[in-house]
Amino acid sequence: MGDSREFEFEGAATPSEAADALNRIADGIRARSLSLSMGEEEITVYPDGDLAMEIEASEKKGKAKIEIAIAWKRAKDDDEDDD
């Protein structure tokens, strides 16, 4: 297939807004269809099968950070065999 798509967001949010965003992501994972958009930038991914998760947390000099990564391999589409 060879196409590459990316979506990136960085900005400020209240704890409530951050929690809402994480809930929407969780809902998309449960539904196996997760759409992210901002302005004209948009991506939809389809989490399926076993997901690999990585969670890191750190606190240094009064600053804390949590990084969450979730990855999976996309199931091979039936029509990809025709390429």
Q: Taking 80 as the threshold, does the pLDDT of residue 1 lie above it?
A: no
**Digit-coded pLDDT (tens) for 7-62:** 888 999 999 999 999 999 999 999 999 999 888 888 999 999 999 999 999 999 99
For residues 70 and 5, give the distance between their C-alpha atoms in angstroms, rounded to a whole number: 16
Whole-prediction pTM value? Answer: 0.77
Q: Is the pLDDT of residue 78 over 50?
A: no
CA–CA distance from 5 to each of 27, 41, 45, 76 (Å)? 21, 10, 10, 17
